[in-house]
């Protein structure tokens, strides 16, 4: 995912830790997933932010923090996402929540229109707004709960799917760029080298292994970004045996299914005639 773009608009670790409302969490803020940008932590942060953004009153960010810290999802993402509710959007969202609640419990079919918000009289406008919210009663609060859960779940899975699609697209782009750079001349040179070194099987094996590793560098970069590494264990009998290892901050949810990973690696290595088969060992194997 575009981590640089996300970091550009997120509050820093220090600004969140020093905030007087969140400083009380103390040591709980040191878990790496609260700050690490990976598919799981970002999806969880957005899901929690969408849910907490519909909490009535000025408690959205506090609710997001109370959920994000124990669930170990990205805290700045969760806090920033709550801002989708603001004076411009809260009225339509509450009316929608009321309509949903009215379908579940008995209540009037239509909610009263929200009062106009006067920034010049902020205190009075806020009181009028709270009176309007309380007048909507049970249908509103039931609808807010349903809408908050729905937005949170949809947001979580949308990020999961979008993140995985982005990673697959970037890996395929890298594979195409490598194939474009390594056209027939490079492979002819490699073939001549292999023929010349045929009496020295060990050297030839090392050359092929290095070539495989070079072809897979794009995959390795994508995996390293999520806390993993990729290396060539061995090459024998036309089979490239690869191993994916997990680092201390590896994102457990970020690896694509093994079958899909093998097919992508085979596609990347198909221009190497020596490689007839690819086998991959995952961290838990």
Which of 162, 181, 200 is the last residue in one of the domains?
181
* Per-residue pLDDT at 83: 92
Domain boundary pick from 151, 181, 211: 181
Contact status, residue 238 vs residue 276, Cβ threshold 8 Å:
yes
Say which CATH number the domain at 274 has. 3.30.300.130
Higher-pLDDT residue of 13, 100: 100
Quick one: pLDDT at residue 158?
94
Question: Per-residue pLDDT for 197 more than 60?
Answer: no
- The answer on 195 and 169 residing in a single domain is no
Residues 27 and 143 in one domain: yes
Question: What's the pLDDT at 261?
Answer: 83
Q: In the prediction, which pLDDT does 194 show? A: 47
211 with 156, same domain: the answer is no
Same domain membership, residue 156 and residue 79: yes
Whether residue 67 is found in the same domain as residue 168: yes
Question: In the 3-class helix/strand/coil scheme, how is 120-183 assigned residue by residue?
Answer: HHHHHHHHHHHHHHHHHHHHHHHHHHHHHHHHHHHHHHHHHHHHHHHHHHHHHHHHHHHHHHCC
Residues 220 and 155 in one domain: no
- The per-residue DSSP string of the chain comes to --HHHHHHTSPPHHHHHHSTTTGGGGGGGG-GGGT--SHHHHHHHHHHHHHHTTSSSS-HHHHHHHHHHHHT--HHHHHHHGGG-STTTHHHHHHHHHHHHHHHSS--SSPPPPPPP-GGGHHHHHHHHHHHHHHHHHHHHHHHHHHHHHHHHHHHHHHHHHHHHHHHHHHHHHHHHHHHHS-HHHHHHHHHHHHHTTT-HHHHHHHHHHHHHHHTHHHHHHHHHTTEEEEEEEEETTEEEEEEEE-TT--TT-SPPHHHHHHHHHHHHTT-TT--EEEEE-TT-
Q: What is the pLDDT averaged over residues 176-194?
A: 57
Q: Considering only 183-192, 226-235, 236-245, which range has the smallest mean pLDDT?
A: 183-192
114 and 250 inside one domain: no
Residue 79 burial by Cβ neighbours in a 10 Å radius (0-12, 13-18, 19+) = buried
pLDDT at 254: 74
Q: Are 229 and 271 part of one and the same domain? A: yes
| Per-residue model confidence (pLDDT) at position 112 | 56
The pLDDT tens digits of the residues spanning 124-145 come to 666 666 666 666 667 778 888 9
**78 vs 5: which has the higher pLDDT:** 78
Which residues are registered as beta bridge partners of 240? 235, 278
CA distance 268 to 175: 6
Average pLDDT over residues 35-48: 87
Q: Which of residues 160, 181, 202 is at a domain's end?
A: 181
Q: Judging by DSSP bridges, how do beta strands 239-246 and 277-281 pair with one another?
A: parallel
CB 275 within 8 A of CB 59: no
Q: How many domains does the chain have?
A: 2
Residue 23 — φ and ψ, nearest 5°?
Answer: -60, -25
Residue 90: pLDDT band by 50, 70, 90 thresholds? Answer: confident
Q: Say yes or no: 239 and 166 in one domain.
A: no
Across the chain, what does the average pLDDT equal?
76
The pLDDT value recorded for residue 56 is 77
Looking at the fold, whether 146 and 225 belong to one and the same domain comes out as no
Question: pLDDT higher for 17 or 70?
Answer: 70
- 202 vs 200 pLDDT, higher one: 202
Q: List the domain range (segments joined by +) for residue 122.
A: 1-181
Q: Does the structure show a pLDDT above 80 at 190? A: no
Provide the pLDDT for residue 152: 95
Both 190 and 140 in a single domain?
no
Q: In angstroms, rounded to a whole number, what is the distance separating the alpha carbons of residues 101 and 107? A: 8
1-36: pLDDT as tens digits: 455 555 555 555 556 555 555 555 555 666 777 777
Mean pLDDT of 160-188: 72
pLDDT for res 252: 72
Q: What is the pLDDT of residues 235-281, one digit of tens each?
A: 888 888 888 888 887 777 777 788 888 888 887 787 788 888 889 88
Shared domain for 207 and 170, answered yes or no, is no
- Tokens 């669930």 belong to residue: 71
């Amino acid at each position: 995912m575009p981590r640089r773009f996300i970091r550009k608009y997120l509050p820093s670790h220090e600004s969140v830790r020093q905030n007087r409302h969140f400083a009380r969490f103390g040591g709980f803020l040191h878990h790496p997933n609260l700050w690490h940008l990976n598919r799981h932590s970002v999806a969880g942060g957005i899901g929690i932010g969408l849910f907490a953004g519909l909490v009535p009153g000025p408690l959205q960010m506090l609710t997001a923090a109370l959920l994000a810290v124990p669930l170990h999802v990205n805290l700045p993402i969760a806090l920033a996402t709550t801002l989708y509710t603001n004076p411009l959007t809260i009225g339509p969202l509450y009316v929608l929540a009321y309509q949903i609640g009215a379908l579940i419990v008995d209540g009037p079919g239509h909610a009263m229109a929200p009062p106009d918000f006067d920034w010049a009289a902020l205190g009075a406008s806020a009181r009028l707004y709270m009176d309007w919210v309380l007048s909507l009663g049970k249908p509103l609060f039931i609808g807010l709960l349903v809408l908050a859960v729905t937005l949170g779940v949809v947001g979580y899975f949308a990020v999961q799917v979008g993140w995985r699609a982005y990673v697959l697209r970037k890996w395929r782009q890298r594979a195409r760029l490598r194939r474009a750079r390594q056209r027939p001349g490079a492979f002819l040179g490699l073939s001549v080298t292999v023929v010349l070194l045929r009496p020295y099987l060990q050297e030839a094996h090392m050359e092929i292994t290095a070539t495989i590793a070079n072809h897979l560098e794009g995959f390795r970069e994508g995996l390293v970004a999520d806390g993993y590494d990729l290396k060539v264990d061995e090459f024998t009998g036309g089979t490239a045996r690869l191993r994916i290892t997990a680092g201390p901050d590896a994102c457990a949810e970020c690896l694509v299914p093994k079958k899909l990973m093998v097919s992508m690696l085979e596609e990347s290595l198909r221009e190497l005639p020596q490689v007839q088969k690819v086998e991959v060992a995952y961290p838990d194997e």
